[in-house]
Structure 1
């Protein structure tokens, strides 16, 4: 049941105070393109969460960076520079209200 153990590091304390979510649309959302994009996400350390989603876009990624310039570099030089990606819509986080990795197990386990 336990997938892994990890230390939770305060990202701001280590200089990663910028947080954004990016909605990513692939040029062609084929199986091959999705698998190729999945591999890219795996090597980009700025991406801390990636979800394949339904709707008008294909992925939702959570990106950490030291500042807006570093996020812009990530956006231009990695995401938008890739032929797999046709569009990216960013949402910059201004305040985090709740952040947890704890699962509500008591609610679902009897």
Structure 2
């Protein structure tokens, strides 16, 4: 980013993380600016890639998507080609809402959401194991989420923004 973030930028980001539907006028009032400067800051943050996208968060349970699993995935041979094939496949599977390459005994951690255990079994058999790349999957069924957020922890950089 060409211009460093300041405390007002951080406050704008915090407000947008809490409610992206706020109007420019509402954001401006909450950060002590008029609408035009607030809009310019938001546009600058978008152009810089700090604001990647604005989305609506849905209640999975109310949609009937109540089965959540963290799956540890080990590939048979974690070569560059197999890693790329697996990652390309994961991007096409709507059940996978998060996928990360990790260190340790497994190659990937996936967060998978489906309707029920049977849908997860179908996903596992037909999609993940159907690739022919996976040697082991350890599934951890989520009983209850103790914390869930999509917000970046802006307070960790707050000291950098003062001054």
After TM superposition, the score normalised by the length of structure 1 is: 0.96
| Equivalent in the alignment of 1:92 | 141
Matched, 1:79 2:128: yes
Question: Equivalents in 2 of 1:35, 1:17: separation in Å?
Answer: 30
Structure with greater proportional strand content: 1
Matched, 1:10 2:59: yes
Structure 2 unmatched runs, 5+ = 1-49
Which of 103, 106, 113 is the aligned partner of 1:64? Answer: 113
Question: Equivalents in 2 of 1:3, 1:30: separation in Å?
Answer: 31
Question: Equivalents in 1 of 2:101, 2:55: separation in Å?
Answer: 23
Q: Deviations over 1:33-56 (max 9, x none)?
A: 111111000000000000000111
Deviation at 1:29, TM superposition (A): 0.5
Q: Deviations over 1:15-67 (max 9, x none)?
A: 10110010000111011111111100000000000000011100000000001
Which of 137, 150, 156 is the aligned partner of 1:101? Answer: 150
| Equivalent in the alignment of 1:41 | 90
Aligned length, in residue pairs: 110
Which of 45, 67, 81 is the aligned partner of 1:32? Answer: 81
Query: Greater CA radius of gyration, 1 or 2?
Result: 2
Secondary structure in 1 matching 2:139: strand
Which of 59, 64, 71 is the aligned partner of 1:22? Answer: 71
Cα RMSD after superposing both structures: 0.8
